[in-house]
Amino acid sequence: MSKIVGIDLGTTNSLVATVDSGIPYVIADAEGQRLTPSVVHLAGPDATPLVGHAANRVRVIRPRETVYSIKRFMGRRGVDIPKEDMLVTYPVHGDGAGAVTIELHGRAWTPEELSAEVLRKLKADAETALGTEVNRAVITVPAYFNDAQRNATKRAGEIAGFTVERILNEPTAAALAYGLDKLKDHAFVAVYDLGGGTFDLSILALEKGVFQVLSTNGNTRLGGDDLDTRLTEFLVAKIEAQGGPQLAQLHLSLRNLSDTGESGPRTLELQQLSRIRESAEQAKIRLSTETETDITLPFLTPQFSFSYRLSRAELEALTRDILLRTRTHCQRALADAKIEATQLDQVILVGGQTRMPLVRQLVAEWFGCAEFEETRGDIRLGEDYHRPKGPILNTGVNPDEAVALGAAIQAEILSGGLTHLLLLDVTPLSLGIETFGGLMNVIIPRNTTIPVKAGELFTTAVDNQRSMLIHVLQGERERARDNWSLGRFDLEFEPAPKGVPRVGVQFEIDANGILHVLARDLKTGLQKVVEMKSAVDVSDADVQKMIEESVENAFDDLKARQWIETKITAGETLTATRKALGEHGAELEPAYRRRVEEALQSLEAALETEDSRTRIGDTPRLKAAHQALDEATQQLAELLRDKVIEEMLRKQGLIQ
């Protein structure tokens, strides 16, 4: 089944995103560009449409044949055309209740068809990057879109070859991208979304990871385009005042969408106006990070060139009234949600236009955001500083990409990759295998971020062992029997003395939370890979129960581990000592031999203190008995060492 991608079909730019290994990211095109301009150029009736950056590059020289900001016409009727207040250089038509169409080279294109060309470009980019067919998508829309606009967006996706799995509100997508699902159990969040052509303000309530939209208000005819139009109008007036081409009347008629047909203005005039508009948009963008910028338009006519130094203050003065129009929508949304601004936990900014410093300043003032002045760095925070009440202005995610990233997260949820969003971030319980003595050896600790891969080397505890049982466990207890069994399998290898074989065991948890266990004999390369059940699909109640039991039994579990580990070591020493006495006991002095045998008896007696019910014995006594035997066998160990050296010298012919 095809992967589901997330798409932000924007007025100015569009993006496609996906999730890999639990991490959402925006897919770049062949040129490494993550933002695709929502621009389509049609050179002729049979020509292949140019889309994105290629179309944007010819917009100035072919303004009548290049379509942009088409999102503002999605789901509109002909009667709605006069209500738009934007600069459009391509022919827009529509009458009464009929659909809006764009007349290009003798064909009437609908906004859905043109938007589908943008979506086809995103689809192709995703397929190239992912190396597989992509035909399922989650597409976002402004929260204030009506049913007609939502259906038009869905139709555009279907025309482009997608099965549209969901039409997702942009504020919800942004909340996912900002990680607001990880806030406290109960929170109120405002999403201020000012894009290229639309604005909406949504109030969301977060209750234990579930988002509920309490209210939404906005304007689908208000966005960055309006600021571009205002600045273009300002520059046109400056150009006329300096003796340049007279374009004010043309600008006004195009804003009213009343002079865009084939019999409209000359191509030269449209090219001039397009150049001015493009320069206005670029200057607006630069002034988000600069205080002044130069606008240069050489040879608008063969005799006239234009240059002007625009300041941020001038831009803010020109556009402040447009931005102030968003305040009323903010107030209405708060009133509809029946909450005060001070009750908000966060105000997050979405949409490229929110990069503008004036937007951030106004939003912070309207909502009383406490963090705004702190982030500017012009206030010293001393020990006596108390953070004022009010929401935090959250600008922690790229505002251009937030919606697409959230759509990708929603797509992953729908595809089953994020069935438990909060649990998928980390392993809820430790994972490991059973080792000799019935203990659990942890390979991936609890709360490890996934996807993850980890492994360890193990060996045998018995001579001539032919296989190793890999018993995979999950839990927080020390003994294997107290944890949950996820599965078991055998790995065969050549028989060898204990401690010689080397078996590597590797755990890998993929982005879907599935545990893959690999066991490999390092000598022969023989290996097995087994897929276990989900390592993260554990109910909250079971996780909590396991953790509580591990806390309640912590001391007993520690005693058990100490006893088992000491018992294993003591058993090995006991076996080795009995073997040495059997082979070389006759060579020892009788008094020394009796001392070693007494130490052996003390160790055996200590081992017998193990309780049949708890499987725990007297660990301090066992450790003391083991140490006593270790000290008593020093002379025996020296004898064994001498025997080994003597045998080596004999094999080399150095002694008889």
Q: What tokens appear for 617 in the block?
A: 């014995």
Cα 64 to Cα 632: distance, rounded to the nearest angstrom: 100
Q: Provide the 3-class DSSP secondary structure of residue 108.
A: strand
Per DSSP, the residues of 427-481 read: -SS-EEEEETTTEEEEEE-TT-BSSEEEEEEE--SSTT--EEEEEEEESS-SBGG
259 flagged as catalytic? no
First-to-last alpha carbon distance for the chain, in angstroms, is 77
Q: Kindly report the backbone phi and psi dihedral angles of residue 163, in degrees, each rounded to the nearest multiple of 5, phi listed first.
A: -90, 115
Contacts of 44 (CB under 8 A, 6+ apart): 105
Cα 609 to Cα 498: distance, rounded to the nearest angstrom: 27
Any bridge partners for residue 140, and if so which? 8, 168
Cα 334 to Cα 309: distance, rounded to the nearest angstrom: 40
Choose the catalytic residue: 8, 112, 125, 508: 8
- With CA atoms as reference, report the closest residue to 69 among 50, 54, 89: 89
Residue 554 half-sphere exposure toward CB, CA atoms < 13 A? 4
193 flagged as catalytic? yes
- With CA atoms as reference, report the closest residue to 71 among 166, 18, 144, 4: 144
Amino acid at 371: E
Contact 150, 75 (CB under 8 A): yes
Any bridge partners for residue 248, and if so which? none
3 flagged as catalytic? no
Cα 295 to Cα 302: distance, rounded to the nearest angstrom: 18
Q: From its phi and psi, is residue 513 left (phi > 0), alpha (psi between -120 and 50) or beta? A: left
Q: What is the 3-state secondary structure (H, E, C) of 510-572?
A: CCCCEEEEEEEECCCCCEEEEEEEECCCCCHHHHHHHHHHHHHCHHHHHHHHHHHHHHHHHHH
Contact 25, 406 (CB under 8 A): no
**For the packed helices 619-632 and 634-651, what is the interaxial angle rounded to 10 degrees?**
50
Choose the catalytic residue: 29, 65, 170, 371: 170
* Sign (positive or negative) of CA dihedral 587, 592, 594, 600: negative
Question: What Cα–Cα distance (Å) separates residue 240 from each residue in 234, 265, 277, 305?
Answer: 10, 18, 15, 12
Choose the catalytic residue: 71, 123, 284, 567: 71
> Within 10 Å of residue 203's Cβ, how many Cβ atoms?
25
Contact 444, 432 (CB under 8 A): yes
Q: Provide the 3-class DSSP secondary structure of residue 318.
A: helix
Cβ burial of 270 (10 Å; 0-12, 13-18, 19+) is buried
Amino acid at 126: A
Contacts of 332 (CB under 8 A, 6+ apart): 215, 217
Choose the catalytic residue: 113, 117, 193, 521: 193
170 flagged as catalytic? yes
Enumerate the active-site residues.
8, 71, 170, 193
